[in-house]
Amino acid sequence: MSYIFKAVKEIERIVVDHRIDSVYVPVMGSGHGGLRKEVALFGILLALCDVVTKRGYNNCDFNIVVFQGSDSDKPSISKAVSKRLLRIATGMYS
């Protein structure tokens, strides 16, 4: 999971250097990384919370893309689980 934190820090560096105001990133680590999708999402959320709280940087919309094959398919991570993970991650840094 440490590489997720490194990837998010690199994304933050690029965002700051190029004054980007919106980023879309897939759930990293759940494919070849071998992490369960929920664990990978939680890792990204924790890394984002870490970046925002340590640097106070919150001028960018960071959108995490969860795979959904089609409109009729369910997303690979449910909205309920995503909301719960977001609540837990932000609660750890408040």
Query: What is the block-wise mean pLDDT of the chain (94 residues), using blocks of 10 residues?
Result: 93 91 93 93 94 77 90 93 95 84
- Find the domain containing 85 and state its range: 2-92
pTM: 0.87
How many domains would you assign to the chain? 1
pLDDT of residue 58: 64
Q: Are 29 and 4 a contacting pair, CB within 8 Å? A: yes
Characterize the bridge pairing of strands 61-65 and 22-26: parallel
> Strand, coil or helix: what is 26?
strand
